[in-house]
Each structure stands twice: as C-alpha cells, then as structure tokens.
Structure 1
Amino acid sequence: MTSGQDRLDAFTDAAFAFAVTLMVAGTGGMAPDYRQLEAAIAGAPSFAIAFAIIAMFWLAHVRARRMAGDGDWRFVLLTLALVFTVLLYVHPLRAMASSFAAFVTGQADDYGGRLGQMFALYGAGFVLMSLLTAGLFAAARRNPDLDAQRRREAYGQMIIWLILVATGLLSTILTFFRATIPFAPMVYATLPISIGIFASRYRWTDAAEGGKGTT
C-alpha cells in the first residue's frame, strides 16, 4: 500500500511540474527578437502569479497527503481528479498571462474581445480545483490515526478551501454580466480578508473543541 501511495505522490508531483512546464512552453520559448523579449519580460509578473497559484494547490495536496496517511479510495480519486484538472487549468492561466503581457506592452491581445469568457474559464477551473482540494482535506479527516488537533486542523483547511470555492464562484458569476466583468478578477483580492477573519476566529489547536468539528 505504501509503495502505491509513493507512486501516486510521484505522479502528482510530476503532473504539477509538467503544468508549470506547459506554462513556460506556451510563452514561445526563447524570444527571437527584442519585441518578443519585451513581451516576455512584461509577462513575468503574471507568470509569477500563475506559478504561485499552481504551487498553492500543490502544497495543499502535500499537506492533505500527510494528514491522510495511507489514504483510501476517496483520496486517490480526488488526487487523480486534481491532476486531470490542473493539466486543463494551466491553459486559461497561460491565456491570462498572455493577455496581461499584451496589455502592458500595448500589443494586440487575442483575448481582448473575450475577456469575460476567459475569466469565466479561469474561474471555473479555480472553483473546481479548490473544491477538489477541500475534498482532499475532508478525506484526510477520515484517517483514524489523526489526533483531535490534527483532525480539527484538517477541518479548518477544508473550510478555507470552501471559502476559495465561494470566492471563485462569485467571480465567475460576475463574468456573465458585461457591466461587472472588470470587477470579476478583483473579487479574489478579498481572499486575504475573508480567510484572515476565519483563521483568526477558528480555534486551530483546541483539542477539546476538535470533536465537535469532526461529527
């Protein structure tokens, strides 16, 4: 069983690494002239954001995996679903990076007339991956070897990822209305506030309260 889990972990890590590779390859590789070099440099901040998002999901899976122990079939299915989704999600991430770079350098943007659709695809991927990650922590809570404190920590992480689900869902809904499309990406800026409020009010280390959160 342990060998199988090690292979699953290696497969998951490789899939996330491949997703990052797809982002780099999608920028066209080495810039053949100064204009494309300028566009590549302008796209560096958006690439950094996209990289951070992928890393965020990968680190969450690592944390959930440690809590899950050997895990069960639910954790395996959720992991495979997460791998499948991240390999699709990298495409709207790359599109956003390309769009941002074009905006900064004043070049034509292939997605300029369809920003709403692009943000909708991005939001749908974000919602699905956040929901799967929340499911991973829910599955990890089923590990009978977890103590009350670690079980409560898993519950808290699950709620945080559900907050991300709700935020992404709201942003996606805004993309369906022309007047609110510019506000769709701004919704994600509320995450530090909403998560901060929850984290400050949630008793992460209260083992006595942990049992209440696990039922």
Structure 2
Amino acid sequence: MTDLQHDTGHAGRVEAHRLDGFIDAAFAFAVSVLAIAGAETPHSLHDLLLDLDRIPGFACSFYTLMIFWHRHVLWRDRFRLHDGISIALSLALVFFALIFVYPLNMLFQALFSSIYDSFAHTSLPNEPMIGSMRELRALYICYGLAYACMAGCLAMLYRHTLRRASMAHVDRIKARETLYVQLSSIMVAIASLVSALLIPDSGAWSWLPGCLYALLGLTYWMAGHWSRKALAQAA
C-alpha cells in the first residue's frame, strides 16, 4: 500500500468517526429535547411531581427514537459504505429526527394525558392542548410524515448497501430483514396519514390513525420470521 493510499484510508476512517459522533450527538440532543420540552426546571417538590407525570410519554418517545438510532448503529457496524449517498442518507436521517422529535413528544404526551383524564377525570397539568379534530389531524399528519421519512432514509440506506456492498450471506439476510421492516414501517405510516385525512370532524374514529401503528409489531414479527427461516436454510 502506498503512502497516498494509506493517508486516504486514514482520512476516510477519521471522517466516518466524525460523522458517527455527529449523528450520535444529534440523537442525544433530540432525547434531551424530549426530556425538557414544555417544562422548566422544577423549583419545588410539587413542580417535580408534576414533571414526573411526563415519564410515560417520555419513555415511549425515547424508545421510538432509539429504534431509529440503533438501526443506524447496526448499519455502520456491519455494512458501512464510505460514499456520498450513504453520508447524505445518514445526514437526512438526523435532519428528520430533529423534526420528528416535536410531533413525537406532543403525540405521546397527549395520548397519556387523555388516558389519565379517562380514569381521573382531570387533565394532567402542562400537557399539550389539542382543542379540535383539525389540530389532532394535523398532529397525526406531521407525525406520519416524519416517521415515514425517517423509515425511508433507513430503507434507502440498506437498499443502497445491498446493491453496492460485498457481504456474507448471513449479513445479507439480516440487512434484508431491516430493509423489509423499514418498508413496512413506511406503509404503516402512510396508512395512518391517509386515515388521519379521512377521519370526520365529528371526532368519530379519531383513535384510528394512532392505533394503526400497532401494525408495526406484526411487521417486525413477519420480517423476523422470514429472517429466521432464511438463516435456517442457509445453515
């Protein structure tokens, strides 16, 4: 290997590490926004107890963001490509994650506030106020668009890798599994978005766009089942 080739390879690794650090920092920032969004530093025990009511919504939002981050981590650990398309898609994922964090937080906080209200017959303090079906529809649409865009970035990243990278058969199966999960996630998000556009202003079926995301569990199981069957055949 010539000195020039060595320097080029070293520069590529340094650039990759810097990109990884930036992506990790961006997701960490998004999580910090989830933790503090809409709330100030508590100045009394009463304020602290009120802020603790946000934990269920924060937990669901945190888990959703970490799914996307972890899938990108798996990609760069197993299949990384050092090309412009991979870098652009990785940065696009960060871009949409920073947009996604606000409708994500608002949707889950509103969900748990409505659950609390149905049992305690009172609303949680400092929770997002959704005053009409028009506002709820807009929230569902923002969430669905952001979710579909993030899943789309990962799907294109894995598709690009499958077309360009040389990998073992087992790794190719795992990459296809993640690709199928992301494509299914896009379809679920689009179905939720369409249902949000169609729900009547009377409030009937207002739960449908959110409940459609439960289909994600089925898509994960189906992709995992296909992956296990393919791995068993390859063994």
Q: Give the match for residue 119 of structure 2.
A: none
In the alignment, is residue 94 of structure 1 matched against residue 115 of structure 2?
A: no
* Cα deviation 1:7-48 (Å, max 9, x = unaligned): 110010000001011112213132345665444222211110
For residues 39-96 of structure 1, give each alpha carbon's deviation from its aligned partner in whole angstroms, at most 9, with x where no partner exists: 4222211110000001000000001112333432111010010011101111111212
Confirm or deny that 1:16 pairs with 2:27: yes
Which of 191, 209, 225 is 1:200 aligned to?
Answer: 225
- Computing the radius of gyration over CA atoms, which structure comes out larger, 1 or 2? 2
Percent identity at matched positions? 24
Q: Name the structure, 1 or 2, with higher relative contact order (CA <8 Å, separation 6+).
A: 1
State the AA in 1 paired with 2:231.
T
In the other structure, the counterpart of 1:213 is none
- How many equivalent residue pairs? 209
Work out the CA distance in 1 between the residues paired with 2:65 and 2:222.
Answer: 24
Indicate which of 106, 114, 127 corresponds to 2:123.
106
**Where does residue 40 of structure 2 map in the other structure?**
29
1:136 matched to which residue of 2?
A: 157
Which blocks of at least 5 consecutive residues in structure 1 are unaligned? 210-215
What residue number does 1:158 align with?
Answer: 179
Alpha-carbon separation, structure 2, partners of 1:30 and 1:187: 35
What is the RMSD of the two structures over their aligned residues, measured on CA atoms?
A: 2.3
Aligned match of 1:58: 69
- AA paired with 2:195? L
CA contact (8 A) 1:148 1:207 kept: no
Instruction: List alignment gaps of at least 5 residues for structure 2.
Output: 1-11, 117-121
Looking at structure 2, the residues matched to 137 and 42 of structure 1 have their Cα atoms a distance apart, in angstroms, of 38
In structure 2, C-alpha distance between the alignment counterparts of 1:186 and 1:31, rounded to whole Å: 33
Residue identity matched to 1:180: W
For 2:4, the equivalent position in structure 1 comes to none
CA distance in 1 between counterparts of 2:75 and 2:38 reads 32
CA contact (8 A) 2:107 2:139 kept: yes
1:133-171 per-position Cα deviation (integer Å, ceiling 9, x unaligned): 111211222453311221222112101111111111111
Residue 189 (structure 1) aligned to one of 203, 214, 223: 214
SS of 1:2's partner is: helix
Deviations 1:111-143 (A, max 9, x none): 232212111111111111111111121122245
Q: Residue 155 of structure 2 contacts residue 179 of structure 2 at CA under 8 Å; is this kept in 1? A: yes
